[in-house]
Structure 1
Amino acid sequence: MTSRRNLLKWMALAPAMATLGGNAFAFTAKSGKTFTSHRPPLAKRKFTSPAVEQLIARTKSRIGDPELAWMFENCFPNTLDTTVEVGTLRGKPDTFVVTGDIDAMWMRDSSAQVWPYVQLAKHDPALQRLFRGLIHRHTLCISIDPYANAFMPDPQAKSNLDWAQHDVTDMRPGVAERKWEIDSLCYPVRLAHGYWQATGDLTPFDDDWHASMRKVLATFKEQQRKQGNGPYQFQRTSPNPTETQFLHGYGNPTKLVGMIHAMFRPSDDACLYPFNIPGNLFAVTTLHRMAEMLRALRNDHDTAGECEALADEIQHAVETYGVIRGEQGDCWAYEVDGYGNQLFMDDANVPSLLALPYLESCKRDDARYQRTRAAVWSARNPYFFEGKAASGIGGPHEGLRMIWPMSIMMRALTSADESEIGQCVGWLKSTHAGTGFMHESFDQDDPGNFTRAWFAWANTLFGELIVQLAEHHPAVLRQA
């Protein structure tokens, strides 16, 4: 059977460029090098936003290096240019967002792909409609199956992903893949909360949304497994052990300590120990956001109280079982089982240990986080790679030596050190292999050896980083 990894690996660059670009606009730098825009022509863009275009123009004017400015203009609008379908479904605004090279919508990716545009929505009616549609779509997806990570455009359709056709799990119409990942329910809450905070718009938060939040809470509680394993199990026939789960699809044994069990990581790779620490900490933040919204938008104090109680229980369990004690101070584990077994590593996909402040799951200057951050960006992390091209974190998904640009972006986004940030920007600029876009991963010594030529989340995250630097560290962009 063709796996997702094999399907996406070594995508040919030329077809991807044909999909991504073709705009004739070009400019020549003082060096004599010409940079041609890889954005689709205006008539072929999936979605346009005046506010986004204005932000692109403002930000480009603050970037000293023409190549970096060109990369930013290619990447920041890539989600809107190429992955968004806006319409109507069941009488409500609907927005479906594919990942790029896969014709399905991941709950995590779709939320993260549009996140940098939230700040612009208040004064852009087109963006408001996009966000209302995506919140409605997320609500529908949760109602279909809160355990699924990816969904089809047609809620009645069978999965079109060839690697998911024979999974041993409860596949339902509308589900593209059914890997239970805690963050799949956290990201839609983050997006909804961010949109509400940015705009004050109450339109998407109807009875269906209210019911979906109760389902999120119920699913988190169900996966504490206090009343048994619960309804979710997953197995897949694959040569890659990270594609399936242990013990008939329920995962390795745990001591029931109050944390939420996860079967898969944000990378879609199987958890070794079911208590994924970044996922549980993200859930704590998510539950507090849910409580705030349920009180303010739905006057539902009872469910809000349940959210806060569960958040406190998870936080206590993570503090008790998810910390690795050491002579130089403690740091977070990546996964644990509650029996005392702990795995230390980090994965480039977010939530990660490196990304905890980015997700507002801890403060950037938190001492434990800083120790963890130093450890994951070192040889102590088996998925930290240093080569001729760059240094960064990867993960089992693409294997050894393969650095994910996302990890370099996250290092910069969680840093206040302009020297460190500048180094990260330099690595990103020198490893795009001439494409003008970010990739899923690249070889530590050879950026031309990369995976996923069209990976919209990485593109948009790169744009988000540049926008953040323009606001908070403009000197880095002037000197880049």
Structure 2
Amino acid sequence: MVVVAEDELPSCPDYSSHAYMNHTPPSPGRYQLSYQRPEPACRKFILPEVEETIHAMARAIRDPDLFRLFENCFPNTLDTAITWKGVAADHPDEELTFITTGDINAMWLRDSANQLQSYRSLLRPNTSSSSLASLFRGAINLQARYILAAPFCNAFHAPPEAAANLSASSFSFSSGQADYVTPPPDPSVVFECKYELDSLAAFLQLSHDYFSATSDAAFFARGSAATHRSSSTWVRAVHAILNLTTTMQQGTYSPDGTVLPSPYLFQRSTSSASETLPNSGAGSPVAPQTGLVRSAFRPSDDACTYQLLIPANMMLAHALLNSASIASSLALPDLAARMRSLSTSIQQGIEKYGRTHHRKYGRIYAYEVDGFGSANVMDDANIPSLLSAPLLSGSGFVERDDPIYQNTRRFVLSRDNPYYMFGPVINGTGGPHVGPGMAWPMSLIVRIMTSDDDDEIYASLKQILASTNGLGLIHESVSTHDAAIWTRQWFSWANGLFGQMMLDLRERKPHLLRRSYQ
């Protein structure tokens, strides 16, 4: 199916407004959840395999409210966030897919990779431009273009090719911030330039997701500038990632105590400390030769307290190891070896610097460290998180039953975690992005996906169902004491993650889908 421009759709409502309201028919259960899918003519991209999956899940899920939440959430990215799909102006064989986060009209590397990962289990080899495989190829190509243009940046404008197909209101937008960034990005390309290590890992994750499902090595050898597989767009983007991350392994000081110039600086005029970096934009000091890679910002877009962000390093290490198989398939042994070497360096750094001793839980992973001995002991709901470590980049950085992960998990899901929010409505991890008292349903979804305990999964599902305020979509965060207080009515990644979790339960715990949650 070809994506239709918003201004050409037949009287289609703006989904930002649509998602705020209740729509009929309500689900016939206790929560009477609103039906939130757009009319078929207003859906951005329709895939038969997704519609078939929804029909199949209607037979697998007994509870009417639980099914309505799946029915609304699983197709949400396809229904609402595939904002443009086309081809490169100078290379008609180069597919492009522009995916917005939902209520923010920009493409985040991290969000778009995870939005598509929701459909990973349905991905099959397919050369058609109307296929799921085409969506993946288009997103990989566009992300590679973005990384080559601005490797430190996290969020981007629609490509110029999309201008003629998008209405002015959906194409002309700005982050609305006065940012001072070194190196300075091109504002016509970049929406926001917060350097987040997990954004680069997300590109590798997306690439591996596609390759592992399709074995389509030829795709990675193509590109608008490619004359040989070693100079393809994808390969050049990987080299850019390796060059940047290797540079960001450096510490703050040289051996003689001289302060080294920071490769990246970010300052924003703001009243929020989490929106800018200290030390004139360089961030907090980092020890040298840890093997870990610095990150200025977390996946929440909040500034790191200490720049060696352990979940992001976990994700990058595993994504490098997985996607090195693509380089091997292209007969690029030197590139594959470099990717594996960096992965090993990061893993060794995590083992040496990324763990700390907790007085109650024993040996656990820290959320952030600086390499000097300081550790930030917490977790944040956004993925990658410590809680999500077994899920990162497919098979996971650690096994679920790993003793240190289990210690960490018990800590994260306890009141000893300063960002664990609890109350009568919902209990889960939050973060400084929204603040205390607001739990993120995303954290409960991850809790379910990392649990084998039926009672824990059942209780978490009940809380998620009770947290939508009747709207039938996954919010960014919800007050632990009042379900009517929440942030972001339209958050495509969280919606897709819920659908992904439900498909996972169908495989692992089908009996839980046959239970009542009334």
State the TM-score, normalizing by the size of structure 2.
0.86
- 1:210 corresponds, among 230, 235, 241, to 235
Q: 2:208 aligns with which of 177, 185, 193?
A: 193
Give 1:340's aligned residue.
373
- State the match for 2:192 in structure 1: 177
Amino acid in the other structure paired with 1:280 = N
Change beyond 3 A, Cα 1:367–1:155: farther
Q: Would the aligned equivalents of 1:292 and 1:304 in 2 still touch at CA under 8 Å?
A: yes
- Offset of residue 34 of structure 1: 6.1
Greater shift in the superposed pair: 171-180 or 73-82: 171-180
Q: Is the 8 Å Cα contact of residues 23 and 40 (structure 1) preserved in structure 2?
A: no
Structure 1: any 5+ residue segments left out of the alignment? 1-13
Distance in 2 between the 1:41 and 1:22 partners?
A: 15
**Counterpart of 1:140?**
145
1:87-98 paired onto structure 2 within 5 Å: 87-90=86-89, 91=91, 92-98=94-100
Contact map agreement 1:439 1:454 (CA 8 A) in 2: yes
Structure 1 partner of 2:52: 54
On the 8 A contact 2:506/2:513 being kept in 1, the answer is yes
After superposition, what is the alpha-carbon deviation per residue over 1:119-154, rounded to whole angstroms, capped at 9, x for unaligned?
A: 212166411111111111111111111110000003
* 3-state SS in 2 of match to 1:164: coil
Identify the residue that residue 9 of structure 1 maps to in structure 2.
none
Gaps of 5+ in 2: 1-12, 164-170, 223-231, 255-259
Equivalent residue in structure 1 for 2:480, among 427, 433, 444: 444
Question: Separation in 2 of the partners of 1:244 and 1:305?
Answer: 36
Alpha-carbon distance, 1:36 to partner: 5.3
**Comparing 45-54 and 462-471, the one that deviates more:** 462-471
Distance 1:193 1:363 in 2: 19
Equivalent residue, structure 1, for 2:225: none
Which stretch shows the higher mean deviation, 199-208 or 222-231?
222-231
3-state SS, counterpart of residue 396 of structure 1:
coil
Give the aligned partner of residue 114 of structure 2. Answer: 112
Change (3 A) 1:356 1:306: same
Residue 261 (structure 1) aligned to one of 291, 294, 300: 294
Q: How does 1:463-478 map to 2 (within 5 A)?
A: 463-478=499-514
Q: CA deviation at 1:162?
A: 3.8
* 1:240-271 Cα shifts (integer Å, max 9, x gaps): 00000011111111111221011000000000
Match of 2:8 in 1: none
SS of 2:85 mapped into structure 1: strand
**Is residue 20–residue 82 contact of structure 1 (8 Å, CA) maintained in 2?**
no
Partner residue of 2:323 out of 290, 302, 322? 290
Percent pairwise identity: 38
In structure 2, C-alpha distance between the alignment counterparts of 1:361 and 1:325, rounded to whole Å: 20
Tell me the amino acid that sits aligned with residue 185 of structure 2.
M
Q: Work out which of the residue numbers 73, 76, 89 in structure 1 matches 2:74.
A: 76
- CA–CA distance in structure 1, aligned partners of residues 464 and 306 of structure 2: 32
Displacement of 1:26 in angstroms is: 3.5
AA aligned to 1:192 is S
One-letter identity of the residue aligned with 2:75: P
- Give the CA deviation at 1:400: 0.6
Distance 1:202 1:312 in 2: 24
Could you tell me which residue of structure 1 aligns to residue 429 of structure 2? 393
Aligned length: 465
Deviations 1:196-251 (A, max 9, x none): 11122235312111111111111110100268444311110100000000111111
Change over 3 Å in CA distance of 1:52–1:38 after alignment to 2:
same
Letter in 1 for 2:110: R
Q: 1:33 to 1:385 in 2, by over 3 A?
A: closer
What secondary structure sits across from 1:442 in the alignment?
A: strand
Task: Give the distance between the partners of 2:357 and 2:278, measured in 1 at CA.
Answer: 28
**Structural RMSD (CA):** 2.2
CA drift of 1:23 comes to 11
* Aligned residue number for residue 271 of structure 2: 239
> Which is worse superposed, 326-335 or 466-475?
326-335
Contact 1:404 1:441 in 2 (8 A): yes
Aligned to 1:64: 62
Mapped to 1, the partners of 2:271 and 2:337 lie a distance apart of 45
Return the alpha-carbon distance in structure 2 between the equivalents of residues 17 and 83 of structure 1: 11
Residue 409 of structure 1 corresponds to 445
- The verdict on how the C-alpha distance between 1:229 and 1:415 changes in structure 2, with shifts beyond 3 A counting, is farther
In the alignment, residue 205 of structure 2 is paired with which amino acid?
Answer: R
Partners in 2 of 1:159 and 1:15 — Cα distance? Answer: 16
Pick from 344, 354, 360: which aligns with 1:322? Answer: 354
Instruction: Work out the CA distance in 2 between the residues paired with 1:236 and 1:423.
Output: 41
Deviations 1:428-467 (A, max 9, x none): 1011100010000011101110000011011111111111
Secondary structure of 1:463's partner? helix
User: Letter of the aligned partner of 1:26 in structure 2?
Assistant: P
Deviations for 1:93-125, whole angstroms, at most 9, x for unmatched residues? Answer: 110000000000000000101102122121664
Aligned to 1:221: 246
Q: Which amino acid aligns with 1:208?
A: T
